[in-house]
Structure 1
Amino acid sequence: MSIVSVIISGGAGARLWPLSRESHPKPLIDVGDGQSLLQHAFRRALAIPGVTELVTVTNRELLFASEDEYRDTGLTPPGLTYLLEPEGRETAAAIAAATLAVEEAHGRDAVLCILPADHMVADVPAFVAAVEQATALAKKGRLVTFGIRPTRPETGYGYIEADGTDVVRFVEKPDLETAEKYLASGRFFWNAGMFCFTAATMLDLLGKLGADILQGCRDALKAARRSSGTGVVQIELDKATFSTVRKESIDYAVLEKADNVSVVPCDIGWSDIGSWTAFADLLPGDEFGNHTLGEVALVDTKNSIISGGGRLIGAVGVEDMIIVDTADALLVARKDDAQKVKTLFNRLKAEGHESTKLHRTVHRPWGTYTVLEEGERFKIKRIEVKPGGRLSLQMHHHRSEHWVVVSGTARVVNGDTQMLLATNQSTYIPAGTNHRLENPGILRLVMIEVQTGDYLGEDDIVRFDDVYGRS
């Protein structure tokens, strides 16, 4: 019987803005130890004994960033599949599609362990022991959840009421008085959002309780684009079909209606990192209750969360505050209002603000670019291209570009001319000219790009050829 770890990696992480953006969401955030949440999930998924494959469900646009994150761990899974969603349709669709893919590859008896990428688990051995209990129940036809023993009357989590290992009911986020009663009763657990089941169990339940979701995912999988090589499989769900699948969480679609749900109570050091107050638990604290990241200088400051990036943050006389500084956005909020950061994010998104989508440093399959400065009719970028990285053959209608090599070697296509540029050499690319940049060396290529023109938006691009399959 195969055991397959399934990492669900998606969502914008709106409550962790401005560190989390749509193109660099919560799973990709460094949690202060040099590892991202996705890398922690990857290590955790591979720690489960007997795992035969790892499936990652993520957005098509996050594929290359996910590959980089996994590669940087130095770990090699026994098998790796990327199930790529053209857009998010909530967890019921993600789990349905993953279960269908696992059934196709490993049969209906395969056991799936569903792991959200944006959670933290501090005690991995305890987690592994809980998964072994869950796997044993799953083999008996149970749909298994993981219940975290509550340590406080938390109003930000959903709860599970249990009788032994049998789930009595699921409860939405309670008010404080109700949460205190739950804590005192000993019968309630936090819902960790992790699940374990056989493919047969989940497909049978979806067939009864969410048949339209199951059929939509089946159709999207049947029409999917597939590729494989060196132990890695990519399945890109059909956009036209998948976009019609009903949005529903797995909790509403299946768990709250099923009658064969079990829970494994556990103490695994779990957190869903659902707000800045939760994120602060991952950061070092001082004797005044402050949790900080980056270069911070504090005077008479208490019980505050302060996260910085490339510059010093100074705080004087601050108490119970959240201060998060990035290159292009600054968040200042009271700790009591941590959940309202999502409201701010949604307002900015509705206004089309760039800060909800991109950081100043943007990750691409070939490397990164950082916007250093921009103004009327100009933009300056720092471009890093990985060894072997190759940008698309492209053209811009409205802007010209000047490229200067800072370090490394660049292979450049500039119209009908091909050239190699070394450090301190440069080239000029007029608007309307086909061009391409490539790093043929073994070291990173670093360049400065100066754009000039009437329109400098990232959507002014026509791609003629791209090794990463982008249109």
Structure 2
Amino acid sequence: MYPKQFLKLNGNSLFQDTVLRCLEISKITEIFVVTNKSQKFFVIRQIEEMGHKIPVDNILLEPVGRNTLPAISFGMHEIKQRFGKSTVGVFSSDHILEKKSMDIFKNAEKLASDYLLTFGIVPTSPHVGYGYIKPTNPVENGFIVSDFKEKPDACTAEMYLEEGYLWNSGMFLLDTDIFFEELSIFAPEIYAIFDNSKNIWESFDEMPSISIDHGIMEKSNRVAVIKLDKKWSDLGSYKAIYEEFDKDENNNIILNCDDALIDSSGNLIHSKTGKIVSLIDVNNMVVVDTLDALLVCPRESSQKVQGVVSSLNEKDDERVKLHQKVYRPWGSYTVLESSERHKIKNIVVLPEKKLSLQLHHHRSEHWVVVTGMAHVQVDEDQYFLRQGESTFIQAGVKHRLSNPGKLSLEIIEVQLGDYVEEDDIVRFEDEYGRK
């Protein structure tokens, strides 16, 4: 529920950096975000944090993930409907890219009027985690693409570098007319949905799950590539994070925490717990400490974290989906302590936001205001609570918490009952469209 594009590893999130890059060449009203319902409010809030307001209609919600070709088709369709024939940049929201690279996209618009245009990164190593593109004949400021290759083994990656292949960045510049012409030829079942359906959202289940590379780019003879000899990464692993961020004099990367390291080098350390992280005679390790999980592994083995996720999934452990800190449209809550019959939360409500009007069948709640002012509704009664004041909500009673102020509201909530899980919520009114 908190994917990597929204993580703030070192300042802005990757998503925020992507939006800032796009603002170099487009207005906020011309930026469209294809995402899903659970991420909608991350998108809105993180854009608002930067002082911008994206039109709500520009956030396109997929009911189900169907890989990149349906997602990109969704965005291309909406842009063509609203703006007519357009040149559209397509960017993943979890990449690192130099902001000055956007001039290259801006200057590529003419080439994109004749080709499906992709961008290839000039390789710095025989990377086995990326796909590859083979450029051939030059055309204007780019090259005709003769081949796409899947992620190779190490030996094949070495050969690709010798033959002048580029890393496949997954970034595109697409003319709406050319895109839909090629879509109609190579993915007619997807084209038909966007050409005929009055309600695309309801038709998503009918679409095949396919990438834009497999669906169009590898089949079309109208594909060109522009070389990008710039800093770029898709941060697909802790190893990639280590390669990307600045290191100290001992080649350690320390993110969001205080440290006390002795004779330790080559480590990646990230902590969200507020504890001092101390390593003694430890080298080339990854240490990631969050409120609900601790990871310690050799840096070269960090890709095996996928196995940890699979193991947790098999056990139906909810921590594979939710952190101790959970983000909501109105703010966030952090679980401080819990058992089968009680749960203690720190709740932060953003300025001028409110929770849904709701009730719980199986638990009561006791609220204590830490900072800010709370507006409380209990059945028909409404009142304010200030710092240090508290109230008690019985099970089965309608209630609502709001923050009418200009500063964040922070409360401690103590839940008591036979059942204290998140699905014991009955909503009657909600500003954010949740059921």
Match of 1:223 among 187, 192, 199: 199
Residue 394 of structure 1 and its aligned partner are, at CA, apart by 0.5
CA distance 1:314–1:116, change in 2 (3 Å) = same
TM-score (normalizing by structure 2): 0.94
Residue 407 of structure 1 and its aligned partner are, at CA, apart by 1.6
**What does residue 105 of structure 2 align with?**
131
**What does residue 219 of structure 2 align with?**
257
Cα distance in 2 for partners of 1:129, 1:421 equals 52
Q: Secondary structure at the match of 1:369?
A: strand
Residue pairs, 1:320-331, within 5 angstroms: 320-331=284-295
Q: Which structure carries more relative contact order (alpha carbon 8 Å, separation 6+)?
A: 1
Residue pairs, 1:21-420, within 5 angstroms: 23-32=1-10, 34-48=11-25, 53-75=30-52, 81-107=58-84, 109-122=85-98, 124-125=99-100, 127-140=101-114, 142-163=115-136, 164=138, 165-185=143-163, 187-217=164-194, 222-223=198-199, 237-238=201-202, 241-293=203-255, 294-309=257-272, 310-420=274-384
Q: Secondary structure at the match of 1:362?
A: strand
TM-score (normalizing by structure 1): 0.87
Cα distance in 2 for partners of 1:398, 1:42 equals 43
Residue 319 of structure 1 and its aligned partner are, at CA, apart by 2.1
Cα distance in 2 for partners of 1:323, 1:392 equals 38
Q: Which runs of 5+ in 2 are unaligned?
A: none
Residue 184 of structure 1 and its aligned partner are, at CA, apart by 2.4
> How much is the aligned-residue C-alpha RMSD, in angstroms?
1.9
Amino acid at match of 2:224: S
Cα distance in 2 for partners of 1:43, 1:116 equals 13
Of residues 202-211 and 274-283 in structure 1, the stretch that sits farther from structure 2 once superposed is: 274-283
Superimposed CA distance per residue, residues 192-243 of structure 1 (whole angstroms, 9 cap, x where no aligned partner): 10011111111111111112223345566x226xxxxxxxxxxxx33xx213
**What does residue 227 of structure 1 align with?**
none
Amino acid at match of 2:102: V
Amino acid at match of 1:332: V
Residue 375 of structure 1 and its aligned partner are, at CA, apart by 2.0
Q: Secondary structure at the match of 2:424?
A: coil
Residue 420 of structure 1 and its aligned partner are, at CA, apart by 1.4
Cα distance in 2 for partners of 1:323, 1:194 equals 32
Q: How many pairs are equivalent?
A: 428
Residue 153 of structure 1 and its aligned partner are, at CA, apart by 1.2
Amino acid at match of 1:365: P
Of residues 346-355 and 188-197 in structure 1, the stretch that sits farther from structure 2 once superposed is: 346-355
CA distance 1:454–1:448, change in 2 (3 Å) = same
Q: Secondary structure at the match of 1:281?
A: helix
CA distance 1:307–1:134, change in 2 (3 Å) = same
Q: Is the 8 A contact 2:342 2:414 kept in 1?
A: yes
Of residues 149-158 and 340-349 in structure 1, the stretch that sits farther from structure 2 once superposed is: 340-349
Q: Which runs of 5+ in 1 are unaligned?
A: 1-22, 225-236
Task: Tell me the percent identity.
Answer: 41
Cα distance in 2 for partners of 1:281, 1:295 equals 21
Of residues 418-427 and 457-466 in structure 1, the stretch that sits farther from structure 2 once superposed is: 418-427
Q: Secondary structure at the match of 1:469?
A: coil
